[in-house]
Amino acid sequence: MKIYVIKKIALLILLLFGITLITFTLTKALPGDPVYNMVGERSSPEIIEKIRKEIGADKGIMRQYIGYVSLLAKGEMGRSYHTNRKVLDDIIMKFPNTLKLAAGAMLIAVPFGVLFGFISALKKNMMIDRFITGMSIAGLSIPVFWSGLMLMLFFSLKLKLLPPSGTGDISYLLLPSITLSLPAMATLVRVTRVTVLDVMNMPFIKTARAKGISERSLNMIHIMKNALIPIITVIGLEFGSYLNGAVLTETIFGWDGIGRFTMEGIIKRDYPVIMGCIIVGTLVVVLINFLVDIIYHYIDPRVRIHGTDR
Amino acid sequence: MGLTGKISAGIIATIFFLSLFSSFIIPYDPETIELDSLRQPPSLKHPLGTDNKGRDILARVLYGGKISISVSVFAAFLSMGIGLLIGLLSGYFGGKTDMFFMSLVDLVLSFPALLLAVGVSVIFPPGIYTVMIALSSVGWASFARLIRGHVLTLRESSFIEAAKAVGCSHARILSVHLFPQCIPIAFVMTGLKLGGYILTEAALSFLGLGAQPPTATWGSMISANRVFISSAPWMVFSPGVMIAITALCFNLLGDDLREKYDIEKYSIRL
């Protein structure tokens, strides 16, 4: 277990180096100059030169990269070209908001997704199964930014029950969370259905039935427990899609989180912001995968973590 | 192909043909501004209403469909091409080549796809080609992984051994013996993925990275009109419905293909 953790951390550091190096060179080597975006294309050459010196854009790429990494080592991420605020401070301020949104979406998606998927598998090929599968395909096909706008139109503008946009308490959180949870829920329904059907065909279920176990404990203990692992994997993997969805949902609902921050950074070519968000995003995805591995270890004794598997 | 698949394919074909010939069907130009018919609700004259600049929404939705569908389909096939090439090389040569390409695949797949696509599309000036490049620079990875897995199993089979014994060059084995074997699953995979391409294309245009105004795409129509959502909801409603219907049909078609050609047997989780 210890070796596994050490190995994972080493891999994470390597991954971060790789990702920062790639994004860094990509953002620097390609057309589009942040300085023009900062001061406008019609400024005098002297001002442009001065700002270029200020942000260090006059040095070579390698020296800039080394400068950035040593800044990271000091626990800093530099300042935004536009607001001149510390990127790390902004991320620390906005990250809890995105986390709240993702947690809210998960609280809706996980229980309903697993429940509907389970029902769908138990009632295979019956009306209710057809209905649930159909709804889940629809859920995967509706764009998040449109379903969000429709929810906003209905609940905020027509019924005036919830505030249409902004960052704040639970009433602000509800609509974006529902919006974000829809595609995740649809995926979970499909995965749960397939896994439960797989498990139901296994010989030990027949054995359990033959022993005369009640249908209820068969469902709860034998099927659910064995179907849990793929489901947890998907819940973990879906976290990346929450980050995807967060970009759109946060843009629509004016939610002040990382997704919108990244988006604005990218559009304004605010490199310190882009780099900071990419690093945080990678960290989150890797950490979640790590957590999923650990949870495996505890819920399924067949999975042993030696550091060599995977 | 099952009934659902056939119906879905039919609907997609209908939408695409209506878009192709929209200029013959609808008497309005999608880009001409008409100041005396601003923000009109749906009526007989304008079945889906008009937008903020008096342009007929039906005309714009159909015209946008042409762009949205062709960009997504083209990007899917571009991803398939890149994925085929890399998957073939990676699976056939193995060793360091394989390790290099597969770690690249892992890197791409571990990153939120939309953010990556957005990151790629800001490099180039916004437009439909940028969207195609962005979509396929993210999408090739899953194709490459699938094809590689397939090539790994084929590599050991006797017809490849025979080809080697006869003295075929690597290039000939790859292009004549392995490549045709990968075409069917590559096409099935494309079918499975098209729904996702439609949605990502819409998202990129929604974020303003696709075709620029006044050109209509479904995503950009929603983003341009969303400020009027309380006074003129029809401007946002119909492009969204079109995205959803198209993506739904592609997804149903993909499900149908998945059931028929069980590509999960190539041990790939999609």
Helix, strand and coil in chain A, % to nearest 5: 75, 0, 20
Find the closest chain B residue to A279 by CA distance. B111
Asked whether residue A247 falls in the same domain as residue A187, the answer is yes
Residue stretches of chain A with pLDDT short of 70: 1, 26-42, 55-59, 240-241, 244, 300-310
Task: Compute mean pLDDT per 10 residues along chain B, 270 residues long, and list them.
Answer: 86 91 82 77 81 84 90 94 95 88 79 76 81 91 90 88 91 92 88 90 88 86 86 88 93 84 51
With respect to residue B45, please indicate whether it lies within any of the assigned structural domains: no
Nearest-by-Cβ selection for A137 from B111, B222, B252? B252
**Between chains, do B248 and A138 touch, taking CB under 8 Å as contact?**
yes
Q: Report yes or no: B75 and B232 within 8 Å, Cβ to Cβ.
A: no
Count Cβ–Cβ pairs < 8 Å, chain A vs chain B: 109
Asked whether residue A22 falls in the same domain as residue A116, the answer is no
With respect to residue A133, please indicate whether it lies within any of the assigned structural domains: yes
Q: What is the DSSP string of A135-160?
A: HHHHHHHS-HHHHHHHHIIIIIIIS-
pLDDT at res. B92: 92
pLDDT at res. A308: 41
Q: Which two tokens stand for residue A190?
A: 């499909």
Q: Report yes or no: B69 and B19 within 8 Å, Cβ to Cβ.
A: yes
CATH number reported for the structural domain that contains residue A224 in this entry: 1.10.3720.10
Mean of per-residue pLDDT scores for chain A: 81
**Between chains, do B119 and A266 touch, taking CB under 8 Å as contact?**
yes
pLDDT at res. B269: 37
Give the pLDDT confidence of A76-92 residue by residue, as tens digits. 777 887 787 888 888 88
- Contacts of range A160-169, beta carbons closer than 8 Å, 24 or more positions apart: A164/A253, A165/A252, A165/A253, A165/A254, A165/A255, A166/A253, A166/A254, A166/A255, A167/A97, A167/A254, A167/A255, A167/A256, A167/A257
With respect to residue A87, please indicate whether it lies within any of the assigned structural domains: no
Question: B interface mutation test: which of A24, A37, A136, A146 has the most B CBs within 10 A?
Answer: A146
With respect to residue A310, please indicate whether it lies within any of the assigned structural domains: no
Number of domains chain B contains: 1
With respect to residue A85, please indicate whether it lies within any of the assigned structural domains: no
Find the closest chain B residue to A269 by CA distance. B122
pLDDT at res. B88: 94
B219 vs A contacts (CB less than 8 Å): 143, 145
**Between chains, do B240 and A241 touch, taking CB under 8 Å as contact?**
no
Distance, CA of B222 to CA of B234 (rounded, Å): 10
Residue type, A298: Y
Give the pLDDT confidence of A23-71 residue by residue, as tens digits. 777 666 555 566 666 666 667 777 777 777 776 666 677 777 787 778 7
- Could you list the residue range(s) of the whole structural domain that residue A159 is in? 94-299
By three-state DSSP, how is residue A126 classified?
coil
B123 vs A contacts (CB less than 8 Å): 26, 30-32
- Contacts of range B42-46, beta carbons closer than 8 Å, 24 or more positions apart: B42/B234
Nearest-by-Cβ selection for B207 from A23, A240, A263? A263
Asked whether residue A168 falls in the same domain as residue A222, the answer is yes
Q: At what angle do helices B57-93 and B218-225 cross, to 10 degrees?
A: 130
Asked whether residue A288 falls in the same domain as residue A257, the answer is yes
Distance, CA of A152 to CA of A106 (rounded, Å): 20
Chain A residues within 8 A (CB-CB) of chain B?
A: 15, 18-19, 23, 26, 30-32, 137-138, 140-146, 149-150, 152-153, 157, 240-241, 243-244, 247-248, 251-252, 262-263, 266-267, 269, 274, 278, 281-282, 285-286
Strand partners of residue B50: B56
Q: Which two tokens stand for residue B105?
A: 């695949």
Asked whether residue A25 falls in the same domain as residue A100, the answer is no
- Could you list the residue range(s) of the whole structural domain that residue B17 is in? 3-27+50-260
Q: Cα A183–B143–B203 angle (5° rounding)?
A: 35
Q: Report yes or no: B32 and B218 within 8 Å, Cβ to Cβ.
A: no
Q: Cα B82–B261–B258 angle (5° rounding)?
A: 80
CATH number reported for the structural domain that contains residue B255 in this entry: 1.10.3720.10
Give chain A's radius of gyration (CA, Å): 24
Asked whether residue A236 falls in the same domain as residue A149, the answer is yes
| Contact partners, residue A218, CB within 8 Å, separation at least 6 | A205, A208, A209
**Between chains, do A248 and B111 touch, taking CB under 8 Å as contact?**
no
With respect to residue B37, please indicate whether it lies within any of the assigned structural domains: no
- What share of chain A has pLDDT > 70, as a percent? 87
Find the closest chain B residue to A285 by CA distance. B110
Q: Report yes or no: A300 and A229 within 8 Å, Cβ to Cβ.
A: yes
ipTM exceeding 0.90, yes/no = no
Asked whether residue A245 falls in the same domain as residue A131, the answer is yes
Q: How far is B76 from chain A (nearest CA, A)?
A: 17
Q: Report yes or no: B193 and B142 within 8 Å, Cβ to Cβ.
A: yes
